[in-house]
Chain A
């Protein structure tokens, strides 16, 4: 296969301990890239080259990885846009949301806007890449899939519906080469006005009963959940009953 694929990766954080690790969704982007392009996959990171967690991606069987060197707190967008504009990639894969920093999930959207490429959100599988366009499956909520035809080159984000990433092996992670590239550093202006703080647990929403009288409150506390307004078909033929059920299922759009 001679598809030119670039996966963008970032440094993740373990959800409990907060220790640096390979980011879950970015690892899925690398996995999908490896399945698409094999050894031709390019992996790109913008950030600190000395971060040990970065080698976990190399341990997935990559020989090398490009790093656009930036200090923490710099804006990765201009550097990535400039790099991708000249890289000649057909498909660029990213995770949908970073695990550290703001984690707004805006980067792929801004990249697509800056490059003028189409963006597929929640890529689950690439079915075929042919002349000028690709057939892909998009993951929808509730386990559904949608088939899209998208023009090349395109950007795609992957989420948890993409294939599970392979394990990272220690030997290849040591042997892999990190190729640094100097880029112009642009500071992110958000951090001047916003502040990061440890996450506060959100209070559970209480069920507020707005009853004026004691009898109403008693009723609200003890009443069984019953709609009461349901339509009951009694003494109809099985055919009529089935028709009514099918009509509702078609109206709700679950039977196609």
Chain B
């Protein structure tokens, strides 16, 4: 709902029609009037207005005019600020930051950290390299330590362990929390545990009263143990922070991190055949629907971008794509980080299938379709022209990168 003030013709019509059953209810409330004996009567229930938190407020300064306040739905609610000025101890969290942003697993972990920190402790997030996250404050980060520099870029687990050791020396956190995930946290946490000589609690899914429960073995058993210093927690281990805002004050290391002699050299990502990646776990999906007329061009664009191909139900039913490429309720529920929808209007079954996607790009002729409402970036236009331009742009970008490297 927008803030634009609109006429309500129905309310006006009811106000004119004294026989309407809602006429009395929809009359503007009168707060005081002259009674039959010349005494001024007041309706105390009509005084005041409903504040932003749903509590009735009475403003006697005279600033408030009129009874009924136009209600607007888009009120930005300012969450209360949780401040820890002099932390008694730290709870350290090392989020995965997949794609430079906090994942839902990271947010769960920050929620768990707040459960452990209470009111006296501060949650310290340790982030490696550059990030794109802007919501550290609402995710529950009290102190933010960004370890930047060349030595932390790429795959350098040994150097990152050195960084964490430096943090450990300076802040001496009461607990270290890392996500037990395949996207880095599980590995880094175990390396750090081996370096510290601490025994971590792994795959923890519940922390309660100084005891934690984690899955053991192949998942048929649980292991209950006293809460250790290092915790590798699985997803949904706690509720994420949602009711407070935090300071996210930047802090820095007082010493420089020791350079570790790298025994593992990162030679970069290897090109994999995008068609061989299962759709459900593909990172980048290029999906076509009814609006695609030139399927050869569509395949060419997908190959140029290096994306896994997907399709809507219509495209599959019409025989342009195989059934196993269908995205949506009766096809695959995808988890791609980036999803490009070409000529897909966005039936609700399709939107359900892409519910877990991070960034959605839409190319469509119809500016009013549901996919445009869901998308982070939409381009309105004929798909064939845009795809051709996209192929040219990618080729130009690659050429330029090659020339820079040479």
Q: Name A's B-contacting residues (CB within 8 A).
A: 12-13, 15, 18, 98-106, 109-110, 112-113, 118-122, 135, 137-138, 140-151, 154, 190, 193-200, 202, 205, 210, 212-213, 219, 224-239, 241-246, 248-256
Determine whether the beta carbon of A233 is less than 8 Å from that of B389: no
| Known A109-B191, A118-B263; further 18 A-B contacts with Cβ < 8 A | A100-B217, A103-B218, A140-B183, A150-B263, A195-B223, A197-B224, A230-B373, A238-B382, A238-B386, A239-B393, A242-B386, A242-B389, A242-B393, A245-B361, A245-B363, A246-B390, A249-B340, A255-B305
The 4 closest A-B pairs by CB, nearest first: A242-B389, A194-B225, A241-B379, A143-B277
A113 to B191 Cα, complex, angstroms: 8
Whether A256 contacts B266 by the Cβ 8 Å rule is no
Q: In the complex the two chains form, what is the Cα distance from A162 to B73 in whole Å?
A: 53
Complex interface residues of chain B between 131 and 180 (CB less than 8 A to chain A): 132, 155, 157-158
Pairs across A and B, CB under 8 Å, 12 listed: A18-B220, A106-B200, A109-B194, A118-B158, A144-B272, A146-B267, A147-B269, A151-B263, A199-B220, A249-B338, A249-B361, A254-B305
Asked if A118 meets B264 with Cβ closer than 8 Å, knowing A109-B191, A148-B155, A194-B223, the reply is: yes
Give how many B residues have a beta carbon under 8 Å from the other chain's beta carbons: 90
**Bitwise interface map of B from 291 to 319 toward A, beta carbon under 8 Å scored 1, else 0:** 00000000000000111000000000000
B24 within 8 A of A: no
B393 lies within 8 A of A246 (CB):
yes
Does chain A have a CB within 8 A of B381?
yes
Rounded to whole angstroms, the CA-CA distance of A250 and B382 in the bound complex is 23
**Bound complex: CA A57 to CA B33 (Å):** 95
Contacts of B191 in A (CB 8 A): 109, 119
Which residues between 203 and 221 of chain B lie within 8 Å of chain A, taking CB atoms? 203, 205, 213, 215-221
Known contacts A118-B264, A151-B263, A232 near B282 by CB under 8 Å: no
Tell me whether B222 and A148 are in contact (CB under 8 A). no
> B361 is contacted by which of A104, A137, A248 (Cβ under 8 Å)?
A248
Measured in the bound complex, the distance between the Cα atoms of B216 and A13 in whole Å is 12
> Are B236 and A244 in touch, CB under 8 angstroms?
no
A241 to chain B: which residues have CB within 8 Å?
Answer: 363, 379, 381, 386, 389
Collect the chain A residues with CB atoms within 8 Å of residue B247's CB.
none
Option from B54, B222, B377, B397 in Cβ contact (under 8 Å) with A233? B377
Is B355 in contact with chain A by the CB < 8 A criterion? yes
Shortest B288–chain A CB gap in Å is: 15
Contact of B276 with A by CB under 8 A:
yes
Q: Is B216's CB under 8 angstroms from A103's CB?
A: yes
Contact B218 A105 (CB under 8 A): no
Closest B residue to A108 using CB positions: B190
* A15 and B397 contact, CB distance less than 8 A: no
- A241–B243 alpha-carbon span in the complex (Å): 39
Chain B residues with CB under 8 Å of A105's CB are 186, 190, 202
Task: Say yes or no: B216 contacts A101, CB within 8 Å.
Answer: yes
Task: Say whether B267 contacts A231, CB under 8 Å.
Answer: no
Whether B268 sits at the interface, judged by CB under 8 Å, is yes
The CA of A238 and the CA of B205, in the complex, are separated in Å by 49
Interface bits B46-87 vs A (CB < 8 Å: 1, else 0): 000000011000000000000000000100000000000000
CA distance A22 to B315 in the complex (A): 44
Chain A contacts for B378, CB-based, 8 A: 230-233
Given contacts A194-B224, A197-B224, A242-B386, contact A99 B374 (CB under 8 A): no
CB distance from B342 to the nearest CB of A (A): 10
- Taking Cβ atoms with an 8 Å cutoff, the residues of B that contact A are 53-54, 73, 99, 132, 155, 157-158, 182-183, 186-187, 190-191, 193-195, 199-200, 202-203, 205, 213, 215-226, 236, 242-243, 263-270, 272, 276-278, 281-284, 305-307, 337-338, 340, 348, 351, 355, 358-361, 363, 367, 370, 372-382, 385-386, 388-390, 392-394, 397
Q: Are B351 and A248 in contact (CB under 8 A)?
A: no
The one of B155, B220, B283, B377 in contact with A230, judged by C-beta atoms closer than 8 angstroms, is B377
Q: Which residues of A contact B340 (CB under 8 A)?
A: 245, 249
Whether B194 lies near A106 (C-beta < 8 A) is yes
Give the residues in chain A near B222, CB-CB below 8 Å. Answer: 196-200
Instruction: Tell me which residues across on chain A come within 8 A of B199, comparing CB atoms.
Output: 106, 190
Q: How far is the CA of A18 from the CA of B379 in the complex (A)?
A: 54
| Contact residue among B219, B263, B281, B282 (Cβ-Cβ distance under 8 Å from A199) | B219
Give Cα A194–Cα B326 distance, bound, in whole angstroms. Answer: 47
Task: Give the CA-CA distance A100 to B203 in the complex, in Å.
Answer: 14
Q: Are A113 and B194 in contact (CB under 8 A)?
A: yes
Are A144 and B269 CB-contacts (below 8 A) given A118-B264, A121-B187?
A: yes
Q: Are B381 and A246 in contact (CB under 8 A)?
A: no
Q: Assess the A256–B269 pair: CB atoms within 8 A.
A: yes
Q: Chain A residue with minimal CB distance to B390? A: A242
Chain A nearest CB: distance from B193 CB in Å? 7
CA distance A153 to B8 in the complex (A): 79
Q: Which of A224, A248, A250 contacts B377, CB < 8 Å?
A: A248
Shortest Cβ distance from A26 into chain B, in angstroms?
A: 12
| Smallest CB separation, B157 vs chain A (Å) | 8
CB distance from A133 to the nearest CB of B (A): 8
Q: B397, A224: Cβ atoms under 8 Å?
A: no
Neighbouring A residues of B236 by C-beta, 8 Å: 202, 205
A242/B392 contact (C-beta < 8 A), A103-B218, A248-B359 known: yes
| Inter-chain contact A102/B223, CB cutoff 8 Å | yes
Residue of B nearest to A101 (CB): B217
B218 near A143 with CB under 8 A, answer no
Which residues does chain A contribute within 8 Å of B187, judged by CB atoms? 121
Interface pair B393/A15, CB less than 8 Å apart: no
Q: Once bound together, how far apart are the Cα atoms of A230 and B284, in whole Å?
A: 19
